Amino acid sequence: MRLIAIGVSVLSLTIAISAREQGSSAKQPESLTIASLTGKDTFDAYCAPCHGRDGTGAGPVAPILRTPPSDLTRLSIGRGSFPREDVVAFVTGNGRAIVAHGTNDMPIWGLIFKSLDASDIRVKVRLKNVVDYVETLQRR
C-alpha cells in the first residue's frame, strides 16, 4: 500500500511539474491514468519523472529521491540481451525483490496501474508496452 501511495504522489508531482514546464495553469486531470497504451506515452507519463525521458535516471523528480533512479539505458550491457524477465519483475512487483534500486522505494507500477484501471487487459497491455519501450532505450 505504501508503494501505491508513493507512486500516486510521484505521479501527482509529475503532473504539477509538467503543467509548470508548459506554462499552463491547467487543472489536474480527473484521472491519473493516461488514455494511451503506447510504451513511450506510458514511459513519459509514469517513468520519465524519475528516470528521465531518455531513461538515464535524470528525470525532474530524481534530485529529491533518496536513491538515485537507475540508468535504464544500460540494462543490457554485459548481459548479451535485454533482461526482459527482470524488468517485468521490477515493474510489476511480482514477488521478486526490487534489487536494482537497493530499496523498495520504486513504485510497483503493476499494482498502481491495477488500482487506477479496472481493465486487467489494459493493465497487461500497458505493462508489456512499457517494457518493450525500455528495451528500445538500450545502448548498443
pLDDT in tens, 112-137: 898 888 899 999 999 999 999 999 99
Where helices occur in 39-119 by DSSP H, the ranges are: 39-42, 48-51, 84-92, 109-116
Do 47 and 41 contact (CB within 8 A), yes or no?
Answer: no
Torsion angle of the four alpha carbons 2, 44, 125, 5, in this order, in degrees rounded to the nearest 10:
10
CB within 8 Å of 72: residues ≥ 6 apart: 47, 51, 55, 56, 57, 134, 137
Query: Cell for 123?
Result: 493493465
Where helices occur in the chain by DSSP H, the ranges are: 2-21, 39-42, 48-51, 84-92, 109-116, 120-136
Neighbouring C-beta atoms of residue 102, cutoff 10 Å: 12
pLDDT tens digits along 27-72: 655 668 899 999 999 999 999 999 999 999 999 999 999 889 999 9
pTM exceeds 0.85: no
Closest to 107 (Cα-Cα) out of 138, 136, 67, 74: 67
Structural domain boundaries of the chain?
A: 2-21+28-136
